Amino acid sequence: MTCRHRLVRLGVVGGLLFVTASACSCGPTVKGDEPIQVQISTFSINVENRCGTRISDIKVEIVPYGAATIYTATHYGMQNLEKRDFLLNDFRARDGMALDLSVARVKLVRVSATDLNGKLVQVEIPWKRPGS
């Protein structure tokens, strides 16, 4: 292999690494997963910050089909790799009405936050409760 071929390969690999790194909105993620990990359990929604930096203004939304009423819970900030449980009883609509899963047919969970650079980080996952 000539020196020229090595330089071409090195340039291609370097370019791919640059594009991959610049595409991430909030630093490195663990195992290529989403920057914010979300798990739904029977009584809560667990959120884990995997951005690599602190995030703030965290808003967790439960979005029903039709999106007539969105139920929200908020938190001020989380350090990198910090986990936080948002209890389903704490989710409220704009008018203060509590989430009632016997009435609301939930479509997805949306988590949004702001990283240290001021960029919005948002993750949406389909609603799937354990045992359903």
**Which of 77, 45, 48 minimizes the C-alpha distance to 62?**
45
What amino acid is encoded at 38 in this protein? V
Q: What is the CATH number of domain 27-126?
A: 2.60.40
Q: So where are the chain's domains?
A: 27-126
Q: What is the pLDDT along the chain (132 residues), one digit of tens a residue?
A: 565 555 446 554 444 434 334 344 443 333 447 899 999 999 999 999 999 999 999 999 999 998 679 999 999 999 999 999 999 999 999 999 999 999 889 999 999 999 999 999 999 999 987 766
